Chains A and B, each alone.
Chain A
């Protein structure tokens, strides 16, 4: 270990490279691309949230949660008193899909679940985290 640490400055000096060339470098274009990738997922989430989830009750999330209001993603995980355990936001999304919508729950690691959470959280941006809050 010691040898390796000593070796780094020697190597740098020897190769005469700038430090930044070895860091995980990204520029403004990268940031723009990644943000666009995130926002396109937010957009898919918005579509799912507004009638994009097939369900026999023909309901949509925004019927009760316009702009995803009153979903308070910043409070999860929290002790969900009605379930008697600590739940993550995705479990509550599935509760809504199963009960009012009478639909099939999503896998917690599915693309649709990621999109719904991206949209819900995006609409709540700027609010301080408050895990566990009721």
Chain B
């Protein structure tokens, strides 16, 4: 693409700032950039015009930068660690058994790579077992093999840690307008393990109920989800009471809809009759959209 006139050049610069160059224009833009040092200044002016009209700059809190950089470092490290595990698998013979390295697109997300991590963990356990047996056979003289076993064991520990970190998702419930004063100041958290379909319910400061009442935890699901639910699209998930201080910690079993995030709309807590909490007659005092 040949850009000759100044007006064409200007349109090209505007296209770059708007982010809509096609491949040919992109090439022409790079040539322009290389040949004309004043282009950068023009780009700055155009960008500034967009900022002036549509931008809304506000200085973020100073501490945010450190937080972003630390999170980025962590993210990069887990991505690199994942890649090194892939390489290790290939180097120890998985390629010859037909296993492909994990898709690097999916390694960037801990959640999305959980299945791959589990699979690799099994492979690592198998390979480390074989290597350990081989190492015994060859005796202490095979130094490099021992090193490989140690490296695999370290990787296995790291994988277990990653898996544990990835599995628990914590949700705090918020008080609704129906909550009383002490319910408003209470803290109810649920730490969900989607793979195991279990959760830890951690309650602090809820009022002690009378004998004929209980707290009910509900899983609210979309109307079209194929699951057994009540008229309010809710599944009774747990029934609990609190101790004298208003606290309670217990492990609960979750309905299978928790396996898919899209199948769960919210979780809610109500106060129900102890005889028939499944009747679901009360308003939610605590609520959390998922």
A and B: partners? no
- Write the residues of chain A forming the contact surface with B, with a CB cutoff of 8 angstroms: none
Residues of chain B at the chain A interface (Cβ within 8 Å): none
